[in-house]
A and B are shown apart, each in its own frame.
Chain A
Amino acid sequence: MNTKILAFALAIGSPFLLADCEEAMEVSIPGFPDGGLTRTGTALKREQLKTSFEGMFTVSKGNSLLGDQASVITKPGTVSVLTDKNAGFAVMNAACLPDQRVVVEGYWQYPTRSDAGLVRVFVDPPAVAQALCNGESPAPDTAFALVGTYGDDNDIPTKPLELRWSHELKEWRDRFFTVAHHGACEATDHCGVSPNTIESIRLAERIGSNAAELDVRVTRDRIPILFHDPMLSRSLVRGLFCNGMVNQLSFAELRGACMARYGEQIPTLDAGLDMMINETELEGVYLDEKTPEGVLPSARLVQAWDTVLKARNENDDPSDDRKFGMLIGIPNDDVLDAWNSAKKTLEAENEERVENGEAELPIPKCLLEYDVDKVIAEGCVAWGPTWTEGPQPENVQKLRDHGIGTIFWTINESDFIEGFLTTSKPDGIITARAATLFQLYQLIGSVPAPRGEQP
């Protein structure tokens, strides 16, 4: 009997022995120890960054980091270098220094690895830097270069890096959607941000995304939140008492017990939309409704934000105009039923408003992920097929003929991104490798016709 007891003990003990075996995925984003040179300078204005820095650059030094070509895009306050080499990117700030040089510095990272380091480059030639310091926004030409160094980890950068402006970027804003897959990176990556968080969305924009796909679930008290899994898995959350199913916790309980993997708050959908609309230049969001229960509360929030945007765009102040599209994503028939029910509810509420002399509120638009014919029948504006069925160019064209766009999910591999870009020429792709997709779109992609002008 002793042998049985031993076997029994070993059998039940082994899972416990193996507990806490998860590989630590924590990462630290490199930073200059003294805050960098930008701390001593004056930040360049948004329009200067956009006009003077964006373009396709030839990498004449530092090819082992960035490959032979890299795209440079800008966002409020940041200059980003994007490459298809290991989905690499650099996110930097730009400032005019007291000696009339313009420094661009920050960090680079390969998100699928733990490789990262610091970058510090200067605008060349000096005359361009001086013009920027004088508040001008000179258009770049082939003489424009970013010259400096990069390094590994937190080491002061010493390896030479030189990017020379080559040509303008292919049209991408309001044309091709590089859609961030539940934020910037996969859960298994080393980006230092958790999926479906405010921080992740912010990073997504800086590494090449101009739209985001976010996952919506509801808590027990029907608050829509951004979270992917039905369960509070250790891979996604922290918190000793953060356990169980998402829909069994109230929002207060969830907020009190759980943090996302890298310590961020799990955001409400409302907070996510607020942040995207007011703090980013993202052009849209695709809300992947994980449960039927989330559809109506999500649709109400979209309606509310659409109303805010409409008011901003119709007032006399053009400075607060904001174009931002929100789509309710429908992954299956259960959610489709909930969507149709939600639409009826919202339409009935609009009828009441009209009876009361109030203005109707806009009914949100939908994206359907599966059946092509249902996309048309349901009046959705986009199709979001899984990439695992292949490029399906005939279906993409069929929908394009109906004025419906196609956004494939979720392609992370370069070979397949290239294949889909060249075979089916979609309106966008959801990816966790925004830098790779952006760069490949620039190199081999076709620019979709402007929305509203498609046949």
Chain B
Amino acid sequence: MRFGRTKYLGLAIGVASAFAPCPSANAAEAAKSATSATSGVKSVRSIEEVANEKGFLYYPGAPPAGRMRFSLGATYDAIDPAVMYGMSIRFPQLALDFQDSLGKGFLFKAHINTMLITNEALVGVGYNWHGAGPWSFGAAMNAGIFLGKLSGLGFDALTIAGEYRPELTLGYSLGDIALSLRGSVILMGPERARVGDLWGGFDNPNLFAGHSEILYVENTTRGNSVWYFGVGAMTTRAHYAFWLLFPDSPGLYTYPRVVAGYEY
């Protein structure tokens, strides 16, 4: 698929990353000076420190039990008009994440993304392996609900489905920047829909609804917070991307996803 304008969006995100709010400290500097006692000014924190103290949303860390992290972000899918019956309007989704360390690398996770008419809510558990070097690895299993509802604009429709999302993450630390490549499999079912008073199912229910591969970049700050952004590809059936159509074709479409947010 040639993405046209979306390529430029990816390019813009990339360019923006070079100007992301992270100081010019390199990895060695960051590692040896978490704070400057003489000046009283905090330096940017290293990935290693954050991974072991509070953890990241994406880079697999192993914080002590009870350490929590929230994040607020946005997700934008540059969906091919053909998937959306030619509709060219795209809305970003609000993304909320929460994780609570259970200790020894285990995590409780919760995720919501919504654009009001489309909502996904997932909870899950994960395990992170974080060694002494820059590499780390995480695995998680999430389950939840996919819910779409719209009354108005030519719709009196609702769709509801179970959603299951196993995911693997490979992380690499660059000092004060973490790169994490996360691959997820999107499974959905059973799916039901309502139009007016009429309920029904789909002709071609297929548990496999798609997969995603996103590269995340997380920048530490002087505090415990983290900026993140990511770009990657979603490969999904059309009804995951745009449930309003309830299409029954099993064709998979690839489209870019751009995410950005702030971890508290």
Contact = CB atoms under 8 A, between A and B. Distances in A.
A7 interface: yes
Interface residues of B, number: 65
B1 interface: yes
Interface in A382-435: 386-392, 412-416, 419-420, 423, 433
A4 B177 contact: yes
A3 B80 contact: no
A412 B238 contact: no
Contacts of B154: 370, 386, 388-389
Nearest to A181: B85
B15 A390 contact: no
Nearest to A217: B86
A14 B215 contact: yes
A416 B204 CA distance: 13
Interface in B2-33: 2-4, 6-7, 9-11, 13-15, 17-18, 22, 24, 26-27
B203 A412 contact: yes
Contact of B247 (A19, A188, A235): A188
Contacts of A13: 14
A23 B254 contact: yes
A39 B216 CA distance: 60
A22 B202 contact: no
Contacts of A11: 10, 13-14, 17, 215, 217, 229, 231
A14 B181 CA distance: 11
B74 interface: no
Contact of A234 (B9, B11, B80, B201): B80
B72 interface: no
A15 B81 contact: no
A8 B17 contact: yes
A388 B195 contact: yes
Interface in B215-264: 215, 217, 229, 231-233, 235, 238, 244, 246-254, 256
Interface stretch (A92-100, A224-232, A311-319): A224-232
Given A3-B26, A8-B15, A387-B195, A23 B174 contact: no
A230 to B, nearest CB: 6
B41 interface: no
Contacts of B217: 7, 10-11
Contact of A391 (B26, B196, B248): B196
A377 interface: no
A413 B203 contact: yes
Interface string A424-454: 0000000001001000000000000000000
A114 to B, nearest CB: 9
Contact of A188 (B213, B249, B254): B249
A248 interface: no
A7 B229 CA distance: 11
A22 B203 contact: no
A66 to B, nearest CB: 16
B83 interface: yes
Contact of B2 (A87, A234, A388, A391): A234
Contact of B3 (A5, A19, A390, A391): A19
A16 B86 contact: no
15 contacts: A6-B179, A7-B17, A9-B14, A11-B13, A11-B14, A18-B232, A18-B233, A23-B254, A86-B203, A112-B204, A386-B154, A388-B154, A389-B157, A412-B203, A415-B199
Interface of A: 1-16, 18-23, 25, 86-87, 112-113, 186-189, 215, 228-231, 233-236, 243, 290, 370, 386-392, 412-416, 419-420, 423, 433, 436
Given A23-B251, A188-B250, A290-B86, 9 more contacts: A4-B22, A4-B177, A6-B174, A11-B13, A11-B229, A14-B232, A231-B81, A412-B248, A433-B248
